[in-house]
Amino acid sequence: MPDLLALPDFLTLTEPWMVRIALLLVATLFVAGVVGLASRLLGRLAKHTPTHWDDALQKSARRPAQVMVWLIGLALVSDTLNRRFPDPLFERIDAVRNVGLVLCLAWFLVGFVKRIIEGYALDQQQRGEDFDRTTLDALSKFLRLVVVIVAILVVLQTLGVSIGGVLTLGGIGGIAIGFAAKDLLANFFGGLTIYLDRPFAVGDWIRSPEQSIEGTVEHISWRQTRIRGFNKNPIYVPNALFTSLIVENPSRMSHRRIKETIGLRYADFDKVAAVVAGIRSMLESHPAIDSSQTLIVNFNTYGASSLDILVYTFTHTTAWVDYQAVKQDVLLKMGEVVAAHGAQLAFPTQTLHVELPDAFDIAH
């Protein structure tokens, strides 16, 4: 009577190929565990170093390295099975392994480039040094794009596809693709123009007098730019639009302007000169006003109900909140100057002249 508790032949490892497969799987599992343990230890050591290179290297290589170990181990197992059970399917395992290794290397490089750029930006920010976020983003995207393109070409070469034929086909088909995706290409080159000319950067406040676009730039991609409006709504602008759009960048202003018109009563005509001199003196001595810039205080025109004085000057600050505080202080002090000279601010008035009839007309 056969032993019902006996193990099947494929579990008894009585065949050499079974032993080889078992050893390969155990070895692969062991090496993957060692790689993971070494990665964690290196990660702990990297935290105590002042540079970001080792952190980026450890975090970027951890997953791809483990996947590469399993690819190599499973490829060896497949080779053993192919020797025992020949099949055309196993003959493609080497190509699959090579493709997987190339993709793992590209995975590592893409992550490494991204983390290096982010680490550099964080390091500059912690030191309080200025850096161009837009340029760093463009450099990171360009390098990752190069890695992806090279990886695709290597994968095609590994699969037996002629690179020369692909490039030739790309040149012929590029015309058709260009017509079909002209908007996409226009946005791409518009983004490239932004990265090269840098009319604005991430964090800048921009606006367009031609379109209802105003807000803070949050993100610049190859296809579109995301702007956060002052009402906190996101605005997505295709990059191609910036090649023909007039864009103002108030974030790069050197000063903020105060331009006001102060009206005095016609009854205070004899005090206009003194008020003008007093306001000019106040502005020249004001600590928040840049007297080296254009400063104009002049009697400007005879208004409908006032004698108008033009006040034109610039503040040191460009911050919106601080500017509003400076402007308020200047307006209040101008009112004090007017009051100190015994004059009053004018407001819209009308004088009505009534012509009474003479006695002869009344009698008749």
Domain ranges of the chain: 9-178, 182-251, 254-340
pLDDT band (50, 70, 90) for residue 82 = confident
Closest CA to 276 of 316, 313, 315, 308: 308
What is the average pLDDT across 317-325? Answer: 93
- pLDDT band of 177, cuts 50, 70, 90: low
The model's confidence at residue 76, banded by pLDDT at 50, 70 and 90, is confident
Burial of 264 (0-12, 13-18, 19+ CB in 10 A): buried
Give CA–CA dist 111/122, Å, rounded: 16
Q: Return all residues near 124 (Cβ < 8 A) that are at least 6 apart.
A: 130, 131
Q: How far apart are CA 82 and CA 71, in angstroms?
A: 16
List of residues 6+ apart from 170 with CB closer than 8 A: none
Q: Regarding predicted confidence, which is higher, 133 or 145?
A: 145
Mean pLDDT of all residues in 179-192? 67
pLDDT one-digit tens code per residue, 249-276? 988 899 999 999 999 999 999 999 999 9
Enter the pTM of the model: 0.53
Do 134 and 201 form a contact (C-beta atoms < 8 A)? yes
pLDDT of residue 4: 45
Measured in degrees and rounded to the nearest 5, phi and psi for residue 48 equal -95, 5
- Within this chain, domains 182-251 and 254-340 share the same CATH topology: no
Q: For the domain bounded by 254-340, which CATH number is listed? A: 3.30.70.100
Please, which residues have CB within 8 angstroms of residue 62's CB and are 6 or more apart in sequence? 36, 39, 43
Domain 182-251 has CATH 1.20.210.10: no
Percentage of the chain lying above the pLDDT 90 cut: 28
- What pLDDT does residue 7 have? 41
